Amino acid sequence: MMLSFQRQQLRHHHDRRPCSCWRFLVLLLAIHIHVNVSSGQMYGLNIVSGAQEKGAVCLDGSPPGYYFIPGFGSGLNKWIVYVEGGAWCSNDRDCAKRAKTYLGSTYYSESRGLPPTSGILSDNPGVNPDFYNWNVVWLRYCDGASFLGDRQEPVVMSQGQTIYYRGARVWDAIMQDLMAKGMASADEALLTGCSAGGLTTIHRCDSFRDIFPPQTFVKCLADAGFFLNMPDVKGGQTSASLFYGVAVTHNVFGNLNRFCTLFTAPDARWECIFAHNILPFVRTPLYILQSTTDYWQLENLIGPKWIDPTGQWSTCVENMWSCNATELSVVQEFRRRMVEDIGFGYPGLRGEFVISCPAHCMATDDYRWSSQQRFTIHGKTMQQSIGDWFYARNFGDMLLVDGLSPMNPTCAGAMNSAETKFAEHLDILSTLES
């Protein structure tokens, strides 16, 4: 089926009169688009036509959008929909600040730069043999609540700024646009995303499955989408406070898993935003790609700067000799809870690559995705495990989970310096516990 994507230009603060040589500019633009697409590079932002009229808008009221690379060869009717990450905003003030950035508006997309085309999004068959020639869609994340919010009335701040909490409508508008432009004829489809986008993937997996005909082969892959509801290093509830604020501020309740909310007390239904509470109810095949020492969570939810004024926790993360026994035990408890909350699913329906290497988001990094020397479990790369799971090639390698100790030896070489030091901490802890 011929794909027809209209690239609409965003209206910025100043309208410009068209140049008299506009025909020449259009020709150059067409050539540039052709060159970028044929080389596997994403070009421009596709704005969803008519979204604003439906109330499907980003935090600042701008229309939603996505980047697109067409598939080729045997991948013409196969689609990857990738959901961008970028944390959340949990109150009106923070969302108002976010609305003035690329994470809350498509008007600032140029400051974000083009998305990566590596790892699972790579068009190199040597790196990405199962998905290299698929259609790739990169969803711009601009609502601040993992596409779950739906608050009818906008919020007007004291300075006159208007904030919209319409993530669920944005999701629906983008899906409708993609289906109208060729995705409806997909033979195979994979919903995936990282961090806040990984959480979206878990929440939206079943509804993504439901927009396709029954014969379409659909699965989901959540990368770093498992966020723990556990106390921080001071015993506080940083994680719970954040996600409770997201749930209430954005009014996500109508878009949480209905089975989870049905079996949860009304005053605790906000907890259905956490992945471990909805995982038992996801019926579509789902793969969990997760680090048990998720670096972002350890720095932002377990030891955030505002509860660490002396920088002791931050120093622990950066310097292996400064960690005290209490801090190391917190990290080990985090690892234990992560493995426990993810649990073990049924092979085929569930796939898992749960690794002990400190990381946050792995599937779009070439080395972590497919290198035989980096980030492997029992000799398997995440690319091999995910491909085997997607195509049901080897049930024995679909549930790969690292032990709590010792640290996986393949972590070294694929981490930055801070991650490497943190891995050394955990090896020290493992030695002390043995």
Q: In whole angstroms, what is the distance from residue 323 CA to residue 130 CA?
A: 42
Q: What distance in Å separates the CA atoms of residue 199 and residue 209, rounded to the nearest whole number?
A: 16
pLDDT digits 0-9 by tens, 203-250 = 999 999 999 999 999 999 999 999 999 999 889 999 999 999 999 999
Report the relative pairing of strands 135-139 and 65-69 from DSSP bridges: antiparallel
In this prediction, residue 406 carries a pLDDT of 65
Q: Which of 219-228, 256-265, 355-364 has the lowest mean pLDDT?
A: 355-364
Q: Is the CB of residue 380 less than 8 Å from the CB of residue 397? A: yes
Residue 294 is a catalytic residue? yes
Q: For residue 52, what are the contacts with CB-CB under 8 A and spacing of at least 6?
A: 61, 63
pLDDT tens-digit map of 368-412: 999 888 899 999 999 999 999 999 998 777 899 998 766 788 887
4 a catalytic residue: no
Helix (H, G, I), strand (E, B), or coil: what is residue 340?
helix
| Per-residue model confidence as pLDDT tens digits over 56-115 | 999 999 999 999 999 999 999 999 999 999 999 999 999 999 999 999 999 998 878 889
Catalytic residue among 90, 109, 146, 195: 195
- Token pair recorded at residue 86: 């970028």
pLDDT at 14 over 90: no
If pLDDT is split at 50, 70 and 90, which confidence band does 317 have? low
Residues 254 and 165: beta-carbon distance below 8 Å: no
- Which residue in 60, 143, 172, 294 is the catalytic one? 294
pLDDT at 17: 32
203 is catalytic: no
Edge-to-edge strand list for the sheet holding 350-355: 46-47, 65-69, 135-139, 78-83, 188-194, 217-223, 286-291, 350-355, 399-401
Asked if pLDDT for residue 37 goes beyond 80, the answer is: no
pLDDT band per the 50, 70, 90 thresholds, residue 26: very low
Element (H, E) at 143: none
How confident is the model over 153-180, as pLDDT tens digits?
A: 999 999 999 999 999 999 999 999 999 9
> Which residue in 373, 382, 378 sits closest to 288, CA to CA?
382
Catalytic pick among 203, 276, 360, 425: 360
| Domains of the chain from N-terminus onward | 42-275 (3.40.50), 285-358+397-434 (no CATH)
Q: pTM above 0.75?
A: yes
pLDDT at 319: 57
